[in-house]
Amino acid sequence: MESMLLGLICVLLVPNAFVAGLHDVPNAIAIPVRTRALSARSATRMAAGFNALGVLLALPLGIYLYTWFEFPRMDPSLLLAVVLSASVSLLGWNLFTYMRGMPTSTTHALLAAFLGGTVAASTVADLNIAEVLAMPWAGAVMTLLLSPLVAFGLAYLLVFVAVRFARGEDPDSVNTTSRMAQSVSVGVTSLGTGLQQGQRLSFVLLTALVAAQVEDAEQWLPYVYVGFAVLIGAGCLTGGWRIGHTLGHRLVDIDPLRGMVATTTTSALLFIGSLGFALPLSTSLTAASTIIGAGSNQRFATVHWRQFRRICLYWVLTPLAAGTATAIFTLAMSPLLG
């Protein structure tokens, strides 16, 4: 049973990795393509390459994220059922939100899925629920809740700085410089995104390998990271235009200068947060928040607030849907584990 569950988890990691690239690539390329800093083809290729590189660089961070969480002692097959249920929920939610064009957080969904599945498993195994709640969920949740506020506020304030420097300059020169900075930010944001994706995938895989009692589980990670990088890069090459259209056209009417502020702020937060502090930041929440922050700092309101409220609704639904679905799947699978 444990071997079968582990095999199913490994199989599900393939579409999860591809959809991760498909779902997150718009965060890096939507604004640069919108402001014509890069063509769609050039942007997707650059994003794919740097995402793949970020995944390869994320190996030690992924192991760190695993050691951060210590699951309660339970039957190995039950823990594998939690991981499998979380993988199914994550894939389903990411596909659903992509089809709806909503930039939701994969990190948010994954953590909520593990929480919901672990709570359900503790009920089945009659474990102390306090052990589950004592896991470091609070730190991850606070990071995810605060990062959009920090991203919005920082982008809003940096518009003042950018406008100050651009005052009196030739508009064409300002736009050219802004587009050049956006082109660079595609690579930096994609690298930060790859670091986050690498952490998530290795966390899922390492949890499954340890639960299945695979000896020297960590030694297998370098071999599969190349596969993760290829799959995520392939997902990035699709462009993720359903979400990209939302971020680039439906959310804010943005000019190259404010687009530069939004993209560079996203790059800085993701790169520093992922590499410097190994924080579980959400690329989608960070990118959308910087776009709204930079776009709202204008003489006339240009944020499409109805669309913004719709995105916020999906942000709230993400942990509820992922956590509930994983709990239901875990409870449904538990009688089969006997």
Q: Indicate the average pLDDT of the chain.
A: 87
pLDDT tens digits, one per residue of 111-149: 899 999 999 998 888 777 777 777 767 767 777 778 889
Is pLDDT of 299 > 70? no
Find out whether 282 and 144 touch, Cβ atoms under 8 Å: yes
β-sheet bridge partners, residue 303: 252
Distance CA 289, CA 306 (A): 15
CA-closest candidate to residue 119, choices 95, 140, 102, 137: 137
Domain that holds residue 199: 2-336
Structural domains counted in the chain: 1
For residue 126, the model assigns a pLDDT of 79
Query: What stretches of the chain show up as alpha helix (H) in DSSP?
Result: 2-24, 26-34, 40-57, 59-68, 76-99, 106-124, 129-133, 137-166, 171-211, 221-237, 241-245, 256-271, 283-296, 305-333
For residue 320, the model assigns a pLDDT of 94
Q: Which two tokens stand for residue 139?
A: 């730190």
For residue 143, the model assigns a pLDDT of 76
Confidence grade of residue 14 (pLDDT, cut at 50, 70, 90): very high
Contacts of 4 (CB under 8 A, 6+ apart): none
Contacts of 68 (CB under 8 A, 6+ apart): 136
Is pLDDT of 276 > 70? no
Q: Which residue has the tokens 């449904």?
A: 332
Contacts of 61 (CB under 8 A, 6+ apart): 195, 198, 199, 274, 275, 278
Which position has the higher pLDDT, 336 or 316?
316
- Specify the pTM: 0.91
For residue 305, the model assigns a pLDDT of 86
Distance CA 39, CA 29 (A): 10
Say which range, 29-33, 141-145, 193-197, 227-231, has the weakest mean pLDDT: 141-145
Say which range, 45-49, 131-135, 209-213, 334-338, has the weakest mean pLDDT: 131-135
For residue 243, the model assigns a pLDDT of 95
244 three-class SS: helix
Averaged over 82-88, what is the pLDDT? 96
pLDDT tens digits, one per residue of 172-219: 999 999 999 999 999 999 988 888 888 888 888 888 888 888 877 667
For residue 313, the model assigns a pLDDT of 94
252 three-class SS: strand
Find out whether 207 and 23 touch, Cβ atoms under 8 Å: no
β-sheet bridge partners, residue 252: 303
Is pLDDT of 107 > 60? yes
